[in-house]
Amino acid sequence: MTTVDGRHEIDREAERLAYKPPEVRHDKQGDMGSEERINKAMHHFVKNFNSQTASYLDGCLHCGMCADACHFHVRTDDPRYTPIWKIELFKRTYKRQVGPFAFFYRLFGLKRQVTIEDLEEWQHLLYDSCTVCGRCSLVCPMGIDIAGLVSMARHGMFKAGLIPHELHEVAKRAAETGSPLGITPDKFEDRLEWMADEHDVEIPLNVEQADVLAVMSSIEIQKYPESMAATAKILNAAGESWTFRTDGFEATNFGMLSGNPEWQKEATMKLIDAAIKIGAKLVVLPECGHAYMAMRWMGANMYGKPLPFKVMHISEYMADALNTGKIKVKKLDKSLTYHDPCQVSRRGGATQAARDVIKHLGVDFREMEFGGDYNWCCGGGGGVVTITRADPLRHRVFKLKMDQVEATEADELVSSCANCRQSFDDSQQHFGWDYTMGSLMEMVAENLEERKS
Amino acid sequence: MDLLEFARGPALQVAAYILVAGTIWRLVGIILLKEKPEFSEPRARGGLGAALKVIYTRSFTADPFKPATLYPKILAYVMHIGLFMVVFLFVPHIMFFEGFLGFDWPGLPNSIIFFGGVAAIVSGFALLVRRLTHPVLRLISNFDDYFSWFITMLPLATGLLIPVRLGVRYETLLAIHIITVAALLIWLPFGKLGHTFLVFVTRGTTGMVFERRGAKT
């Protein structure tokens, strides 16, 4: 008779019935003792505390409803993926060290001190199984922004050298070379030239004075280079005085995703400096969700004062240009559904922009059930797509997205985030799925009507 | 001083002081933490209006979450409404409040109050069963959750027992009831029952942060 090892659950979703391998990888960076890691994790979590986060940590009712909003929990039924549980260690430390009744908690030993083993386990919960998509923040009856707390907990984890190696490597490369994929200014220039030739489009680079600074994400430069040509076509068609710059082109921010505020600030300041140098009135961000969060909502705070220019996501720019007649597009005869990037729509507030653009395209728009602000995340945001050990979990979670898309029966699927697109492409390959994720911006660029000058 | 005099006098008085002092301490402990300035260009108006909006709107569940959260939400609503009825609309309680507020308001018939109290207790027990059996709740629950449940149910139970008597003197039952109320008031500011006032802070904060982004709240 076979004895079943009950410690490891059977993975019924796998192509072949299999035991789920135990999660044993606990990555560590740097040379620190356990005590030092614990102290650093907690110190850097607590460091940026304000009354907002304190009320959040104090306010949780343990109702567990956030579990029902989280794709990782919904798809696995693993209670550890309950969003508020992901910050449990930090909640505990807050109550022990900082909260209004910290003295009592310590005096009576009411909250157990966090151990290194705890933190190692939480690495999986804070990185592999959270895309910071913020869906949980919308279900919480207390209105706690759990996703925001996860980002803060990541600050602590980064400083303690307790983040997944892959994400650390990518973030480090971004800090050292200016791009998470190692795109140097020369390479960027090469690829721009290639796209300019290929599409016969003028792509201004390093113009000294321009009204608009356009920036890109490395994922686009490397994997979806057509995005560069599409950006150029749209900005040219709108008659903008604009430019790309080799001294400030990378919009992704892996400092933010990995949890290192210093790297986050460096990346943000590069773009701000470039924009100020050319006297830009507007910075147009690429199809990238977290780039929008990093610059539109956090950029000025990194700068320490209001930005001397406006910041727009490309979908907002296109919506504005179409609404004001700066650009025009041909009507398309097909049905289309749209995947909302969490950081642009749900957390960024630009949900309507893509819909305005889609309206101008004249397609039969099929909104996903509970799309828009309540959209299921692609599963790859928040840096998760870079963490290869999380792939099986990410694919499993993606099933929700597949169902949501398929239910629309739309001819085509587009989004406005290269990171989502990458995550879709990977899962498409994994599942042999019919839908290919497209780019809303490329769709607009391909269907621009000639300007009558 | 007999038990009832103790309950009505020093017990309630001390409990009230602790309630007020504890609430102030907890709120001040949160509010005094430094606030980071926000420099991003707002898309919409934040401020107090946004806070009030979310304090109200978050009382209701958004459509996508309704199927999964319907059961606990109904229980929670019944418990809170039952508690509210019992505490504020029971005529003897209103007379008690009138004693130090100086004004009164109309109450509900005792039979309805009794029904509200029983509904609150039944839903409270259902919530406890859920907490003890649901895998997520079992994992995330701690002492505070169970103790706060107990200390909330206690005055409800002792209050409902007063008309039943069970052979015990009315004065004794009343004294026990008041003492359990005092215990609840003493615990309220410290544990999760603090959501009585923290709910305005957390929802309000989220309202202010996300409404100014024009994001979903």
Q: Give the residue from chain A lying closest to B207, CA to CA.
A: A143
CATH number of the domain at A192, please. Answer: 3.40.50.1860
Q: What is the dihedral of CA B146, B148, B149, B152, to 10 degrees?
A: 160
Of the two residues A9 and A288, the one the predictor is more confident about is A288
Domain that holds residue A192: 177-321
Give the CATH number for residue A41. Answer: 1.10.1060
Evaluate if residue B162 carries a pLDDT over 60. yes
**Residue A8: its pLDDT value, please?**
63
**What is the model's pLDDT at position A45?**
86
Please say if the pLDDT value at position A1 is more than 90: no
Residue A60: closest C-alpha in chain B: B192
Closest CB to B72 among A63, A80, A311: A63
Which has more pLDDT, A301 or B168?
Answer: A301
- Domain end marker among A263, A291, A321: A321
CB A144 within 8 A of CB A84: yes
A26 assigned to some structural domain: no
Q: Are residues A48 and A132 in the same domain?
A: yes
Residue A182 inside a domain? The answer is yes
Give the per-residue pLDDT at B121. Answer: 98
Q: What is the DSSP letter of B193?
A: G
Which amino acid does the sequence have at B173? L
The tally of domains found in chain A comes to 3
Of B29, B72, B215, the CB nearest to A65: B72
A105 and A137 co-located in one domain? yes
Q: Please check whether residues A345 and A313 belong to one and the same domain.
A: no
How many CB atoms neighbour CB B44 within 10 A? 13
SS (H, E, C) A253-300: CHHHHHCCHHHHHHHHHHHHHHHHHCCCCEEEECCCHHHHHHHHHCHH
As a whole number of angstroms, the distance between CA A423 and CA A374 comes to 19
Percentage of chain B exceeding pLDDT 70? 100
**The pLDDT of residue A452:** 56
Strands (E), A96-215: 212-214
**What are A50-60's pLDDT values in tens digits?**
888 889 998 99
Residue A28 in any domain: the answer is: no
Say what the pLDDT of residue A7 is.
59
Q: In this complex, do A62 and B135 lie within 8 Å of one another by their Cβ atoms?
A: no
List Cβ neighbours of A450 (8 Å cut-off, separation of 6 or more): none
Residue A57, domain member (yes or no): yes
CATH code of A395's domain? 3.40.50
Contact between A306 and A300 (Cβ < 8 Å)? yes
Task: For residues A182 and A316, state if they share a domain.
Answer: yes
Which residues, in sequence order, are bridge partners of residue A289? none
Average pLDDT of the residues of chain B = 95
A177 Cβ neighbours under 8 A, 6+ residues apart: A183, A184
Kindly state whether residues A339 and A423 are assigned to the same domain.
yes
Say what the pLDDT of residue A24 is. 67
* One domain for residues A297 and A345: no
Q: Which residues of A are less than 8 Å from B31 in CB distance? A: 51
Asked if residue A11 is part of any domain, the answer here is no
Per-residue pLDDT at A412 exceeds 50: yes
Residue A372 has pLDDT above 90, yes or no: yes
My answer on whether A219 and A283 are in the same domain is yes
The answer to whether position A2 is within a domain reads no
Residue A44: name the closest of A81, A110, A116, A93 by CA: A93
Q: Of A146, A452, A141, which Cα lies nearest the Cα of A327?
A: A452
Which of A272, A295, A321 is the C-terminal boundary of a domain?
Answer: A321
User: With 70 as the cut, is the pLDDT of residue B64 above it?
Assistant: yes
- Same domain? A315 vs A199: yes
Same domain assignment for residues A285 and A362: no
Mean of pLDDT values over B94-112: 95
| Contact in structure between A227 and A441 (CB atoms under 8 Å) | yes
How distant is the Cα of B148 from the closest Cα of chain A, in angstroms?
11
Tens digits of residue pLDDT in A91-137:
988 888 877 788 888 888 777 889 999 999 999 999 999 999 999 99
Examine the domain organization and report whether A297 and A375 are in the same domain.
Answer: no
Backbone angles phi, psi at A10, to 5 degrees: -75, 135
- Rounded to the nearest integer, the mean pLDDT of chain A is 94
Question: Looking at the partner chain, which of A85, A101, A311 has a beta carbon nearest the beta carbon of B139?
Answer: A85
d(CA A370, CA A346): 12
Phi and psi at residue A18, to the nearest 5°: -150, 160
Calculate mean pLDDT across residues A317-343: 98
Its CATH architecture, for the domain B3-27+66-211, is Up-down Bundle (1.20)
Question: Nearest-CA distance from B132 to chain A in Å?
Answer: 12
Q: Which of A143-147, A405-409, B46-50, B165-169 has the lowest mean pLDDT?
A: B165-169
Interface with B, mutate which of A61, A66, A135 (most B CBs under 10 A) = A61
Task: Pick the last residue of a domain from A133, A163, A193.
Answer: A163
Where along chain B do its domains lie? 3-27+66-211
Q: What percent of chain A has pLDDT over 70?
A: 95
Please determine, for residue A5, whether its predicted confidence score (pLDDT) is greater than 60: no
